[in-house]
Structure 1
């Protein structure tokens, strides 16, 4: 059998397949060539072809171990994949970075005004306040200096700013990448912020359009606006804008304002040393302002000069000369009391012209010379006697009889306290309120020689006393007012009616609320100094009402008239007869009464002292036909003084001021009533009687004390005429 020919060999059935397909095994020649398996060219026929030609099967190739070749292929695959991934993700991140930058730009830009609507804003208005002689008293507003063209400035002035602030100003496009990198490195080395990278254009953008907050968003806004400014304006235009808008400390904006502030000259005339100082201020204007820190300003100026020499803007010789011989003429810090006037003007300005959108000049009634005299009188008096009398503050108001304020001092030092004690403060006027009581009595039929009783009095448990605790019995109204007898003032106030006294005071110009009670006669209701002085003015002008004022005209800097004070219709608020009587009575206060220390050689003057309870306030309001002046001294916390009285310190300040104010002014008499009471009438009436003597106090009855009817008491002629004598010293001694 066929099975026995080859024992153990098994042959599988082919199921009819051709013999050529029986062996399906692949040889290396059957593989599809790959990237690394390219067939090699050879002149010799392949082994397979040879074997096929020979009819024999070629020997099998020896395969490399699978593990080693697979690892090699995987390593190659990883290397190619890592590089590709790096390129891919780099491109993706770059794309997202660009998108993020665009998004930030859009976000920041969305919080800016539309570029097409951006304009260089107008300078905030300046308020220039000038005196009656046209001299500048004060300035208010952020931009105090006028615009100065770049071509009008000395060339080293703008170059000083470029040298220290932005050396590459003329080459960058609004931002300076080199400067930013330099500042970043410097700050990292110093572990803090010691240098900034802002260009002049960026600083201008911040000054024009942005706030001073230190945030990333504001910084990005600054960059965008700087680029916009560079596209919109030339370099010279940007530099000129910068110099006219930058802040130099002490309220000075722009080089012109700074030069006027610190050197008293125009920016067009500054020296190299002064230009260096101005450029140095920009870094820290408040800290380096030369009127506060001259040493710091000088040291910074030397750094600027070195930078200018390094940039070849000036020679080394010029730098050394400027450092060795600085020409600074720094003015002292502005603490003048005229600033109280400027603040008062600022309060009334809105009522006069409304909101202002351009710079203006305010012409005032202030006399700079009198203002200086008033300031010195207050400051010197307090410097000499504030400790002795425990008085810390003072105020003075001087006005013409028609209400034009010539001088105003609201405190001893404006830089220490801006509180205006002449306008804002309200204090008890004490006995300086008594003229309104006596005027009311005259208007009800009494006369200066009408007699009233000076004796103790009680009103509902209240027992007011005289300053000296003495009582003189029957006295004339003139004597009572001159001696400032409290009991007579109380009786007189009750007699004429407290409500009528309040009406009189309001009619003459007091605007504060007054309480119509028995103590109103002693000035217990608070008033301001400016209204009290204004209420005395009718005594000096013949009885006409006045409105205290300080502004006469307001113009734009271009000359356009915005406001002019119109002549007021002045009402007659006091009959001339009573004006003459009051002047005669208050004249006696200065001649032999509580203000006998007050004197203006050759000038008829009158007035009234005032001291509030516990010596908290000391007043004197005195006047001539030329000027009405009030002085107040006291403490802001209303604490008592050490017996400072109206006849003491206030009279001394008043006399010093009024003597100077009347130098060279033609002497004029105080108004007196035609055919009525004046000083001659008073002397004539007084010559008929002999001096009063202290009397025992009358006993009040059940219905309360009633003064005796008017009688002609004993008044000595020389007393009424104001002559010194033992009795007058006895009656009028001491200060009230």
Structure 2
């Protein structure tokens, strides 16, 4: 004879007898029992138990969407439990009837509890020691609701959380008469409050079906690749079979010797056939249907819902963008007070997140970048990125890099979780020295301080004592700063020409006439910060791009210039809804004025020359009619290489360089006959060609004639000049006066459009080695804990 779980057979008998009496009283006159009128003392005790059950929305899968061909496409899912809540109409009738016939045939007649089944189950549990069934569907639903509530508990730390959850589980599903009575009390109240259809639907949305799969919809999709409404009779019976014992009856383990593919999932088939037999006994299917369904083999079509960004990476090359979305959610108070709250919101609230990502543009960007920058190279830890930002909104339209996205610590060569496009907080990257792309902030401060593009500055190699510079932020000191150029240049040049050709010595001379602190503040006003979140340095060498910035941060700043001086912080989320349709308003992009419209327009005007004639990016010019501007950047030895281009509709930033280390790329061969220096032109030309055709762009903000001064007409970047043209240094002696805005003259036709490869290939042998500034190596700063050398000069 089995040992009793309670001490003493008499005590067990009395307890069970008392329980039976209460159950009979409740079952015969449930309204009276609940009201407590004319009840026995036992039923009065039952009445005192809590009856209100707070049924919250169950945990559900959050989905991330992007745009493709004008349609919204799901690219990623996040969840703790793989569940999608659906209505009764979205479930097959065969599934609902199978559940009733098998789990609770008296479901539609009873008052929330199956009295006889519960007495039988409790008696067997007490006497035998094993947990027995017998609960009604409503009781099972109550237990599942309580368990769901347990899973949402949090504590002061991980250990405390687990302790609370374990205690809650015991209260929700433990084997005690008290727990069973409370379950029954809730079930009666639930049955009075909700319709049978609502209870059955809630039950089928909550049930566990093995692993992290919960609910009819997720179960149907996971095991059979169909929606719950499209389940066949055998499939419906199989799901109901699995919910009886998910651990043992799941059908996603084909190699299981007891219940695998080799034996036709024998354990599950036995239970499935039992379910079918119950449906036949209760006259819900015919004998012919029974026989045909039993003869149908179990053939799973496992369709996993990837959790996280892996699906976005494998299907759409959007893993890094997806990861950026996740990080934006985790840092936005709109999704919860703490990081833990925000993770819970993302993983459990069934969010529908619509993003700014254009998948057609994303595919083009990945193709362009991968065509020129391989995932791995011998002898260099190579990295490459391309990001597109929309001026005026900060919306990130595309984000790619040369590596494969992975969250694994052992992702292999050419794979990483680090997002090189992003700041440390959004991608764990330390950023990269930007080279001459940073010169735009000196140019902006130059114009804001009353100088003009027509002024000539000394361009000879020069060693500047630190004492010659003004910096109202910090006291300067240290070794003199030696500045040289990548190529031989005249002794003096106009600022316009020096900008087009990215002359280091000219910008050193300009900075000497300005306050370095003001240059830094101009950069900050345009959204610039170092990738780790700290303020940019303001030493003399910083003028030539020694700060470690992220590509998205630089794109944000240049988009601000294209937007008339108003800079908008990057954002990747357009809208968010919870599962119940409630909107969550994410923190919007913050748009602020960084520089005046006059300064922005004149900067844009000056940067148009970069794409023409002797401009450093002339070979990237796609030769169309869309107004645009650009800036290149390299660090010493071409360790890091940049190209930023912009119209009024897009800003596109390309970085190619060393993730770690200081390998000079000037003469390192890259695809299409390019080098580490010139590959950016191929990527940039390809992107501008596509973006000009799809997004285009209007007239750039007008320059201020007074800020131009007596300078030559700026060449139009809408058609490229001869890339072999000589220096433009002497061209400033003629041109428009300060009283009128110069119009762009016609220029020679662009190089023949042989594709991005042709454009970049023309520059492959040009070797734009950057000038030394005596500041040390300019190694890449990306990667966990990555840092860079104390300051390098930059060239083109």
TM range (shorter): 0.5 to 0.7
- For residues 311-338 of structure 1, what are the alpha-carbon distances to aligned partners after superposition, in whole Å with 9 as ceiling and x for unaligned? 43674644655546x6666677524324
**Cα 1:125–1:240, aligned 2, differ >3 Å: closer, same or farther?**
closer
In structure 2, C-alpha distance between the alignment counterparts of 1:206 and 1:175, rounded to whole Å: 23
1:409 aligns with 2:399: yes
Deviation at 1:346, TM superposition (A): 0.9
Counterparts in 2 of 1:378 and 1:227: CA distance versus 1, 3 Å: farther
1:584 to partner: Cα distance? 3.4
Is 1:307 the equivalent of 2:271?
yes
Q: Give the drift of 1:456.
A: 4.4
Provide the residue aligned with 1:446 in structure 2: 452
Q: Does 1:670 pair with 2:700?
A: yes
1:610 aligns with 2:600: no
Matched, 1:222 2:144: no
- The CA deviation string for residues 209-257 of structure 1, in whole angstroms up to 9 with x for no partner, is 3348896984464142655565555687665334313467897653335
- Correspondent of 1:120 among 48, 55, 60: 55
Q: Secondary structure at the match of 1:407?
A: strand
C-alpha displacement of 1:628: 0.7
Q: State yes or no: 1:154 paired with 2:95.
A: no
> TM-score normalised to the size of structure 1?
0.64
Corresponding residue of 2:784: none
Where 1:515 maps in the other structure, the secondary structure is: coil
Given that 1:592 and 1:728 are in contact with CA atoms closer than 8 Å, whether structure 2 keeps it comes out as no
Q: Distance in 2 between matches of 1:168 and 1:467?
A: 87
1:517-666 maps to which residues of 2 (within 5 A)? 517-554=539-576, 563=585, 571=593, 573-576=595-598, 579-589=601-611, 592-602=614-624, 603-612=626-635, 617-633=640-656, 638-640=660-662, 643=665, 647-666=677-696
- The SS at the match of 1:457 is strand
Secondary structure of 2:652 counterpart = strand
The aligned residue for residue 229 of structure 2 is 268
Counterpart selection for 1:504 from 522, 527, 534: 522
Instruction: Work out the CA distance in 2 between the residues paired with 1:672 and 1:146.
Output: 52
1:210 aligns with 2:171: no
Q: Write the deviation string for residues 16-42 of structure 1: whole angstroms up to 9, x where unpaired.
A: xxxxxxxxxxxxxxxxxxxxxxxxxxx
- Deviation of 1:680 after TM superposition, in Å, equals 6.8
1:241 is aligned to 2:263: no
Give the 5 Å matches for 1:90-489.
93-94=8-9, 115-124=50-59, 129-131=64-66, 135-137=72-74, 138-140=76-78, 147-150=85-88, 152-157=90-95, 172-173=117-118, 201=140, 204=144, 207-211=147-151, 218-219=169-170, 221-223=172-174, 224=179, 231-233=188-190, 239-246=200-207, 253-257=214-218, 266-271=227-232, 299=261, 304-305=268-269, 307-312=271-276, 315=290, 317-318=292-293, 321=296, 323=298, 334-336=311-313, 337=319, 338-347=321-330, 349-351=332-334, 361-375=352-366, 377=368, 384-388=374-378, 390-391=380-381, 393-409=383-399, 412-413=404-405, 415-416=407-408, 419-421=418-420, 422-423=422-423, 424=426, 425-431=429-435, 432-444=437-449, 445-447=451-453, 450-457=456-463, 459=465, 460-461=478-479, 464=482, 468=486, 473-489=491-507
CA offset at residue 142 of structure 1? 5.0
What is the DSSP-based 3-state SS (H/G/I as helix, E as strand, rest coil) of the residue aligned with 1:268?
Answer: helix
SS in structure 2 opposite 1:519?
helix
SS at match of 2:387: strand
1:516 corresponds in structure 2 to 538
1:357-382 CA distance string (max 9 Å, x none): 97665554433433444455556655
> Contact 1:592–1:723 (CA<8 Å) still a contact in 2?
no
- Answer whether contact 1:404 1:549 (CA < 8 A) is retained: yes
Inter-CA distance 495–577: structure 2 relative to 1 (3 Å threshold): closer
- Secondary structure of the equivalent of 1:461? coil
Question: CA offset at residue 499 of structure 1?
Answer: 1.1
CA 1:712 to 1:366, structure 2 compared with 1: closer, same or farther past 3 Å? closer
SS of the aligned residue for 1:538 comes to helix
- The answer for unaligned runs of 5 or more in structure 1 is 1-89, 103-112, 186-194, 694-709
How much does 1:630 deviate? Answer: 1.9
How many angstroms does 1:521 deviate by? Answer: 0.7
Report how many aligned residue pairs link the two structures: 601
CA distance in 2, matches of 1:418, 1:573: 36
- Over 3 Å counting, the alpha-carbon distance change for 1:632 and 1:280 in structure 2 is farther
- Unaligned 5+ segments in structure 2 are 18-47, 108-113, 152-161, 280-288, 314-318, 409-415, 466-477, 669-674, 736-743, 752-761, 771-795
Aligned pair in 2 of structure 1 residues 248, 440: CA closer, same or farther (>3 Å)?
farther
Q: Could you report, residue by residue, the CA deviation over 1:557-597 in whole angstroms, capped at 9, with x for unpaired residues?
A: 66666649999886472343652354333542566444344
Contact 1:394 1:631 in 2 (8 A): yes
Shift of 1:135: 1.7
Contact 1:454 1:475 in 2 (8 A): no
- Structure 1, residues 100-147: CA drift from partner, whole Å, max 9, x if none? 999xxxxxxxxxx97334332333577555446562545556577653
CA distance in 1, matches of 2:386, 2:507: 26
Return 578-587 or 350-359, whichever deviates more. 350-359
Q: Do the aligned partners of 1:464 and 1:486 also contact (CA within 8 Å) in 2? A: no
| Alignment CA distance shift 1:667-1:328 (3 Å) | same
Deviation, structure 1 residue 447: 1.0
Quote the Cα distance in structure 2 between the aligned partners of 1:281 and 1:467.
73
